[in-house]
Amino acid sequence: MLGIQEVARQLDVTMRTLRFYEDKGLIAPQRVGTTRIYSRREIARMRLILRGKRLGFSIREIKEFLDLYDVDPEHVAQARQLLMKIGERVSALRKQKRAIDQTLEELRLLERQALTLIDGAATARNDDENKHDD
């Protein structure tokens, strides 16, 4: 059983973050008076929470997953839901990627046009100087 400070250090998060996820109902550390005491289970849940966050899942989705983790010992329902969520996440990321690719193409086009404009102006200037040489 560890204090909030130690847990925060181990997970590399702030105490604020631990209280935040508790407030969202993702973890429920024991209490000694008002002071929070974290068990091995809370720490394990926090690791899952942090990973879910890294993968881009919402707090709500992570909570749903965690809730199922408790009821279904075999984790079958979890696996199914996870599979569905992964599919959604992959689709969302692919959609974002398409948008990014489109933006990149547009920027490259604009870049070429800008370069052409600059090059064209320089060429015109040189031609003008040549006329004076005549």
Partner DNA sequence: ATTCTTACA
Partner DNA sequence: TGTAAGTA
Using CB under 7 A as the criterion, which residues of the chain lie in contact with DNA when the complex forms?
3-5, 13-17, 19-20, 34-36, 53
Q: Which is nearer to DNA, 20 or 69 (CB)?
A: 20
Determine the Cα–Cα distance for residues 46 and 4; give it in Å rounded to an integer: 12
CB of 30 to DNA, least distance (A): 10
In the numeric block, which tokens belong to residue 76?
A: 């079958």
Shortest distance, CB of residue 61 to DNA, whole angstroms?
Answer: 14
Q: How far is the CB of 88 from DNA (least distance, A)?
A: 20
Alpha-helical segments (H) within 1-134: 4-11, 15-23, 40-54, 59-71, 76-133
Q: Is 57 helix (H, G, I), strand (E, B) or coil?
A: coil
